[in-house]
Amino acid sequence: MEQRRILFIGAHPDDADILCGGTAIKLSQAGHLVKFVSVTNGDTGHHILSRKETAETRYREAQEAAKVFGLCEYQILTHDCGIEPTVDIRREVCRIIRSFAPDIVISHRLCDYHPDHRATAQLVQDCAYVCMVPHFCEETPTPDKTPIFAFSFDKFKEPRPHRPDAAIEIDSVMRKKMEAHKRHNSQFFEWLPWIGGDKNFDRSALDEEGEYNHLLKWEARFIADNNPGVRERLMEVYGKEKGEAVVYAETFEQSPYSRTVSVDEFQAILEGKM
């Protein structure tokens, strides 16, 4: 079996963790290389810490989570809530893609509530073509083969819902995924409860199981029965009995803007079986 290289480029430290964390665990356990990139350092994502303190905290948390996921690297780039899909940042993202030479590059779709998510999606989409253009970023050679580009799951219906070309069961690694989420204390136990309206949330009041159940709230979007087409895809992949039993699944959609493969090959690569 060939060792695969999977690159997830998210907007913030924890985006890749949430959207691809279970898949990353399974791939790294199977001996494949997984790298996460956060285009921003998330330095506006706290209600008490300064931007400098937040950036330092989120960098440290991401590196701790990377160890749990088994990543080869968790790279973090620039400031939060201010990125635009400029040529300069496109060059930086292109160099990252070329240097890692991934089989699959995963990011957000363009339809998203957060401007950083949309900007990151545009940056990665723009690189789907130019990463193979030799005279763009000439100092970094083009990869030997064109990567497959893909989108992670989102709940937005306009202009159309996410399509589950690949569905990866994550029930078997959910505890480990939540262990990685625990490392992002400033987010899951401070900022996200606060921005969500729970101004008095107190992690110290939770026991271990309480922490697990609290973190599991952010996994509700991955409940298979909540998303069109996911249950059917799971049964195609795992067989009827196993497919019906899956509760949580991370799903991914191939982008039409670069090289594409059959849905079975796409699934097999993300499962670490090909």
Q: What is the CATH number of the domain that holds 177?
A: 3.40.50.10320
> Exposed, middle or buried by CB within 10 Å (0-12, 13-18, 19+), for 6?
buried
Amino acid identity for residue 263 in this structure:
V
Q: Is 248:219 a contact under the CB 8 Å cutoff?
A: yes
Average pLDDT over the chain, rounded to an integer: 96
Strands in 148-152's sheet, in edge-to-edge order, are 73-78, 33-40, 5-10, 104-107, 148-152, 249-254, 166-169
State how many domains the chain has: 1
Phi, psi of 168 (to 5 degrees): -115, 115
DSSP reduced 3-state for 159: coil
Start-to-end C-alpha separation, the chain: 6
CA distance 108 to 88: 20
Write the pLDDT tens digit of every residue in 87-125.
999 999 999 999 999 999 999 999 999 999 999 999 999
Question: pLDDT tens-digit profile of 5-25?
Answer: 999 999 999 999 999 999 999
Domain residues for 239?
5-270
Query: pTM higher than 0.85, yes or no?
Result: yes
Fill in the DSSP letter of residue 103: S
Residue 206: strand, helix, or coil:
coil
Per cent of the chain over pLDDT 90 is 97
The amino acid at residue 207 is D
Token code pair at residue 80: 């939060």
Q: Cα separation of 139 and 20, whole Å?
A: 31
Please tell me the distance from the alpha carbon of residue 128 to that of residue 100, in angstroms, as a whole number: 14
- State pLDDT tens for residues 132-168: 999 999 999 999 999 999 999 999 999 999 999 999 9
Rounded CA separation 269/145 (Å)? 15
pLDDT tens track for 21-44: 999 999 999 999 999 999 999 999
How far apart CA 263 and CA 37 sit, in angstroms, is 25
